[in-house]
Amino acid sequence: MAAGANWRGKPNRGRLLVPVAVLLLLLELACPANALENGLALTPPMGWLHWERFLCQTDCSQDPYRCISEKLFMQMADLMVSEGWRDVGYQYLCIDDCWMAPTRDEQGQLQPDPKRFPSGIAKLADYVHSKGLKLGIYADVGNKTCAGFPGSYGYYELDAKTFASWGVDLLKFDGCYCNTLNLLEEGYKTMSRALNKTGRSIVYSCEWPLYEKFLQKPNYTEIKQYCNYWRNFADIYDAWSSIRNTLDWTVLHQDNITSIAGPGGWNDPDMLVIGNFGLSWDQQVTQMAFWAMMAAPLLMSNDLRHINPASKALLQNKEVIAINQDPLGKQGYRITKDHNGLELWERPLSGGAYAIAIMNSQEIGGPQTYMVSLTFLGNGLACNPACSVQQILPTSRNLGLHNWISFLKVLVNPTGTVLLKTVVIEEKRSLGIL
Ligand SMILES: *[C@@H]1O[C@H](CO)[C@@H](O)[C@H](O)[C@H]1NC(C)=O
Ligand SMILES: *[C@@H]1O[C@H](CO)[C@@H](O)[C@H](O)[C@H]1NC(C)=O
Ligand SMILES: *[C@@H]1O[C@H](CO)[C@@H](O)[C@H](O)[C@H]1NC(C)=O
Ligand SMILES: *[C@@H]1O[C@H](CO)[C@@H](O)[C@H](O)[C@H]1NC(C)=O
């Protein structure tokens, strides 16, 4: 995209005019929307975010083990390294609301709560960086954060500078206490520019469309020019209904939001709640599979000190993570839903591969059989003339070679998902299967 800007910036000689016009057209087609040009989030960011699991416990004398404090983040940083999270890609350790002191300091700067973050955020950032991780922080575009701590309205430049001086690597910018649409839009844009001006590489996470959509249809083309990822829908809860509602919203709006996602800018369906209390095993599989299908940021909100081995293995599943992190960066979408509540989704991957997800959304009865026709996947290209098929979830197994008229029979548990990957094979003769 930087190349596009250079081409546009230079006057063209006559002879070059046609090739340049063709190149620009190709660039427009390849990049339907220009992403924020900070070189970050070329694949969906991965990490840990405290909100869903730890909320706003600020009383460390009453609950020292779970309160929002530097201790909590240092423990999570240690575990992200020792338990292999960092090495599979979970890199951003992110603070959400409730880290601040109730007021700004005399210079107007945001400050962490002195009891809970006695060493300060810069020290915490040093610690996190020493572990090969990155630190995320939280602020709000309006007059207060959602939990009532100081908002950034009127202080965008100062707060961006403060975060950069502390060595922060990601900002989640919430949208509470913002009176008007105009202030919301201007606030998100101004903070984006302010972050850029600091010269520090800081991933910018927005909630702009979530707050805007109550008032008007968000302009995603514009949002992508300012944000690295953006929340569209309500906060995630540790419950199947919440996962279900998030997926339903995404399907309802997929014609408007899917094509906008790509390297540098992603739709954010909110945190992974795998490893907590509310989801059955099959529902955890479904969340992991669909966050991969949707090219969603993978931000876990769980307690890495207590997580069962199966949930951990699911979150660290390299084949699923590879789908999520596919460099092509195309978001998946639903193709059909049948009268038994079975949903078929596909996601184009690099190299002509496809991820295929089949979810049984029926919340009654037992496992249902689904016959996947390979003929129509990927507009008929996913398995033409042949393909190899790998099942990735709920368990990994090789489903062998198939041709374009094959059907795959899968068995899907209620609220569960089967995740597959097809890789097209051109050399049909050498396979001897056609
Ligand atoms: C700021 O934006 C410009 C393009 O507008 C980009 O080239 C530069 O890398 C950005 N800097 C940072 C620190 O994000
Ligand atoms: C913050 O509060 C002031 C004073 O009430 C108000 O004028 C301003 O519009 C508010 N800002 C936002 C972003 O809502
Ligand atoms: C959305 O934003 C883009 C980029 O700023 C602009 O070109 C386009 O006209 C906007 N679309 C609408 C419907 O306002
Ligand atoms: C998709 O965007 C178009 C154009 O802005 C709008 O008219 C339509 O209502 C949107 N669809 C949904 C489901 O939001």
Tens-digit pLDDT profile for residues 9-29? 333 333 334 344 444 444 444
Strands 397-403 and 407-412: unpaired
Nearest to 403 by CA among 433, 429, 423, 378: 433
- Of all residues in the chain, what percent carry a pLDDT higher than 70? 91
The span from the CA of 158 to the CA of 154, in Å, is: 9
pLDDT digit string (tens) for 100-151?
999 999 999 999 999 999 999 999 999 999 999 999 999 999 999 999 999 9
Q: Span 217-233, mean pLDDT?
A: 97
pLDDT digit string (tens) for 413-427?
999 999 999 999 986
Question: Which atom of ligand 2 is the closest one to the Cα of 183?
Answer: 13
Domain boundary among 299, 324, 349: 324
Predicted local distance difference test score (pLDDT) of residue 21: 44
- 198 CA distance to ligand 1 middle (Å): 10
Q: Identify whether the C-beta of residue 416 lies closer than 8 Å to the C-beta of residue 279.
A: no
Q: Are residues 301 and 357 in the same domain?
A: no
Residue 8 lies in a domain: no
- 74 CA distance to ligand 1 middle (Å): 31
pLDDT digit string (tens) for 235-278?
999 999 999 999 999 999 999 999 999 999 999 999 999 999 99
For the chain, how many structural domains are there in total?
2
Domain at 405, CATH number: 2.60.40.1180
Predicted local distance difference test score (pLDDT) of residue 33: 61
Q: Are residues 128 and 109 in the same domain?
A: yes
DSSP state, residue 1: -
Domain boundary among 324, 341, 367: 324
- 207 CA distance to ligand 3 middle (Å): 18
pLDDT digit string (tens) for 27-51?
444 444 689 999 999 999 999 999 9
Domain boundary among 324, 356, 377: 324
Q: Span 398-403, mean pLDDT?
A: 96
DSSP-based helix, strand, coil % in the chain, nearest 5: 35, 20, 45
Contacts of 87 (CB under 8 A, 6+ apart): none
The average confidence (pLDDT) of the chain is 92
Residue 70 lies in a domain: yes
Predicted local distance difference test score (pLDDT) of residue 23: 45
Q: Are residues 140 and 71 in the same domain?
A: yes
Contacts of 162 (CB under 8 A, 6+ apart): 109, 110
Predicted local distance difference test score (pLDDT) of residue 11: 32
| 57-68 b/e (C-beta count within 10 Å ≥ 16 → b) | bbebeeeeebbb
The span from the CA of 67 to the CA of 303, in Å, is: 12
Residue 7 lies in a domain: no
Q: 371: which strand partners?
A: 409
Q: Are residues 42 and 186 in the same domain?
A: yes
Indicate the top mutation candidate among 31, 221, 225, 260 to test ligand 3's pocket, ranked by most ligand atoms within 8 A of CB.
221
The span from the CA of 61 to the CA of 58, in Å, is: 9
Q: Span 289-313, mean pLDDT?
A: 98
Q: Are residues 179 and 312 in the same domain?
A: yes
Q: Are residues 269 and 337 in the same domain?
A: no
- Of all residues in the chain, what percent carry a pLDDT higher than 90? 89
Domain at 117, CATH number: 3.20.20.70
Residue 222 CB less than 6 A away from ligand 3: yes
pLDDT digit string (tens) for 170-187?
999 999 999 899 999 999
Closest ligand to residue 39's CA: 1
Residue 219 CB less than 6 A away from ligand 3: yes
Q: Which domain holds residue 377?
A: 333-425
Catalytic sites, residue numbers: 174, 235
Q: Are residues 258 and 340 in the same domain?
A: no
Q: Which residue has the tokens 């998100």?
A: 188
At residue 97, does pLDDT exceed 50? yes
Selected residue with higher pLDDT from 7 and 74: 74
Q: Are residues 307 and 360 in the same domain?
A: no
Q: How would residue 389 be classed by pLDDT, with cut points 50, 70 and 90?
A: very high
At residue 434, does pLDDT exceed 60? no
Predicted local distance difference test score (pLDDT) of residue 22: 45
Residue 21 lies in a domain: no
The span from the CA of 325 to the CA of 46, in Å, is: 9
Residue 391 lies in a domain: yes
Q: Are residues 197 and 156 in the same domain?
A: yes
pLDDT digit string (tens) for 322-339?
999 999 999 999 999 999
Residue 10 lies in a domain: no
Question: Which atom of ligand 4 is the closest one to the Cα of 219?
Answer: 5
At residue 345, does pLDDT exceed 90? yes
Nearest to 131 by CA among 71, 172, 91: 91
Q: Return the residue whose CA atom lies nearest to atom 5 of ligand 3.
A: 222
Q: How would residue 432 be classed by pLDDT, with cut points 50, 70 and 90?
A: low
Residue 179 CB less than 6 A away from ligand 3: no
Q: Are residues 134 and 211 in the same domain?
A: yes
Q: Are residues 307 and 224 in the same domain?
A: yes
Residue 23 lies in a domain: no
Q: Are residues 412 and 289 in the same domain?
A: no
Q: How many CB atoms lie within 10 A of CB 286?
A: 30
Residue 143 lies in a domain: yes
At residue 4, does pLDDT exceed 50? no
The model carries a pTM of 0.92
